[in-house]
Amino acid sequence: MKNNNNDHSFADEFPPVEWKCDTCGKIKEYTDGEIEKTECPKPETKPENWDYHLPCPFCKKGSMLPPTMSFTEGLQSILDCDI
């Protein structure tokens, strides 16, 4: 019997990315799927003003910040890409 792997998503193809807490500074890797499951509205915001964030799993106070890439790093990653 042939195994159909139809449950594979496009997001599964990307490696985990490091996010850093804006309060305690600890780092955690998240996959796209984990980000979607963990993301929630920031506390003390009204539904019409919801700003979504990833709460820090370590200190429970901060927000996890996505990685940043400088212009030089972005350009280098494009140049290094295999086409």
Question: What's the pLDDT tens digit per position in 32-71?
Answer: 999 999 999 988 888 888 888 999 999 999 999 988 877 7
Phi, psi angle pair for 40, to nearest 5° = -150, 165
| Residue ranges per structural domain of the chain | 16-79
Of 3 and 72, which is predicted with more confidence?
Answer: 72
What is the per-residue pLDDT for 9? 53
Question: Which segments within the chain are labelled E, that is strand?
Answer: 17-21, 27-30, 40-41, 52-55, 63-65
Summary mean pLDDT of the chain: 81
Q: How confident is the model at residue 72 (pLDDT cuts 50, 70, 90)?
A: confident
What is the per-residue pLDDT for 14? 75
Say what the pTM is: 0.65
